[in-house]
Structure formats: C-alpha cells, structure tokens
Amino acid sequence: MITLAVLAIGIFSAFMLYDMKRIVDGGETNYVTATLGLYLSLYNVFQSLLMLLGIFGGDRE
C-alpha cells in the first residue's frame, strides 16, 4: 500500500505539472476541462497523502 501511494503521488504530480504547462503555454483552450483535470490530479494526490498519513499515523500499542 505504501508503494502504491507513493507511486500515485508521483504520477499525479507529473500530471499536474503537465496540465499546468499546457495551461500556461496556451496549449489548452478549453479551460473547463483543464480545470477539471487539474482538480482531479490534486484530489488524487491529496487522497494518496491521506492514505500515507493513515498508514504511518496509526496508533500502535
């Protein structure tokens, strides 16, 4: 699970960088789909970070 979460963070961070580059360079003309893609990448990174915090932040007795 840890490996999958770290891989997901890396992949979706790369997607965010690619989407941001297309928006800034003017390659994306439909801003609704650009915003939706950026939001979904951010959501997936946040979800994976929460998964990592849940794995490492568990109460160990």
Name the residue range of residue 35's domain: 2-56
The contacts found for 55-61 with CB under 8 angstroms, 24 or more apart, are 55/1, 55/2, 55/5
- Per-residue model confidence (pLDDT) at position 44: 96
61 domain-assigned:
no
52 domain-assigned:
yes
- Per-residue model confidence (pLDDT) at position 15: 94
11 domain-assigned:
yes
Give the chain's domain count. 1
14 domain-assigned:
yes
27 domain-assigned:
yes
Continuous segment of H or E residues that includes residue 37:
helix 31-56
- pTM for this predicted structure: 0.81
- Per-residue model confidence (pLDDT) at position 57: 82
- Per-residue model confidence (pLDDT) at position 20: 92
> What is the C-alpha separation between 9 and 49, in angstroms, rounded?
7
Q: Which two tokens stand for residue 10?
A: 């890396």
Query: Average pLDDT of 7-12?
Result: 96
Residues 6+ apart with CB under 8 A from 6: 48, 52
pLDDT digits (tens, 9 = 90+) for 17-52: 999 999 899 888 888 999 999 999 999 999 999 999
- Per-residue model confidence (pLDDT) at position 5: 92
